[in-house]
A and B are shown apart, each in its own frame.
Chain A
């Protein structure tokens, strides 16, 4: 089955700097890659996603890139703000198998 790895496990950045979180997946059939943000004690919230037929997607300060050949995908947050502090989970899904498999998470701290 699918296995998703994520690095780093913790990340501290100064406010205004960029943050990058990297993930790898094992199942080449995976074709959908969502990213979730989880604030303490709250539900995972979908912040951005990318499908396998797209190499990059951007939404304001957040961008995701996907390298299907290498089975890598990354989340880029620019101009970080304290409210970006949270745990971020990458995930992968092969729509035929109908389940979203999460990476272990990255705890991001943005220092004012």
Chain B
């Protein structure tokens, strides 16, 4: 069964550094998402991406964040100048019509 895959599973970074989280969505899906989940809290929408551009973004998704689909398969989330409060689990998702499926997540720890 096809699934969304994310790398790395765990990323530790120094405060102020940049990180790139990677995702390979399900191949025939057209909509891609990034969500964030701080430990023990709800799954928060960050951004949606369709047709090679951002279609929606939340107030969390400020200039510190960017997304890219550099080739036909990868979908990346870049976080610049990481802060302690960026520590969370980041989930990528892709959507068929209309079901959305999630990757296993990248646990980002900013120290």
Interface residues on B, range: 20 to 34
Residue of B48, B102, B103, B105 with most partner-chain A CB within 10 A: B102
Determine the distance from Cα of A102 to Cα of B56 in the docked complex, in whole angstroms: 15
Which residues on B are within 8 Å of A, measured CB to CB?
Answer: 31, 33, 35, 41-45, 48, 50, 55-56, 91, 93, 95, 98-105
Determine the distance from Cα of A99 to Cα of B91 in the docked complex, in whole angstroms: 14
Contact A98 B48, beta carbon cutoff 8 Å? yes
B91 to chain A, nearest CB (A): 6
B98 neighbours in A (Cβ, 8 Å): 32, 49, 51, 93, 95
Contact A44 B48, beta carbon cutoff 8 Å? no
* 5 A-B pairs whose Cβ atoms sit less than 8 Å apart in the complex: A43-B104, A51-B98, A98-B48, A99-B33, A100-B95
B105 neighbours in A (Cβ, 8 Å): 42-43
With contact pairs A43-B91, A99-B33 given, residues A104 and B102 touching in the complex (Cβ less than 8 Å): no
B50 neighbours in A (Cβ, 8 Å): 98
Of the candidates A34, A95, A104, the one whose C-beta lies within 8 Å of that of B42 is A104
Determine the distance from Cα of A42 to Cα of B3 in the docked complex, in whole angstroms: 14
B46 to chain A, nearest CB (A): 10
Which residues on A are within 8 Å of B, measured CB to CB?
Answer: 32, 34, 36, 38, 42-46, 49, 51, 89, 93, 95, 97-105
Of the candidates A36, A46, A89, A100, the one whose C-beta lies within 8 Å of that of B45 is A100
A87 to chain B, nearest CB (A): 9
Secondary structure at chain B's binding surface: helix, strand, loop or mixed? Answer: strand
A5 to chain B, nearest CB (A): 11
Of the candidates B31, B101, B104, the one whose C-beta lies within 8 Å of that of A46 is B101
Contact A98 B31, beta carbon cutoff 8 Å? yes
B93 neighbours in A (Cβ, 8 Å): 100
With contact pairs A43-B91, A44-B43, A105-B42 given, residues A99 and B102 touching in the complex (Cβ less than 8 Å): no
Contact A44 B91, beta carbon cutoff 8 Å? yes
Of the candidates B43, B95, B99, B104, the one whose C-beta lies within 8 Å of that of A102 is B43
Contact B45 A102, beta carbon cutoff 8 Å? yes
B3 to chain A, nearest CB (A): 9
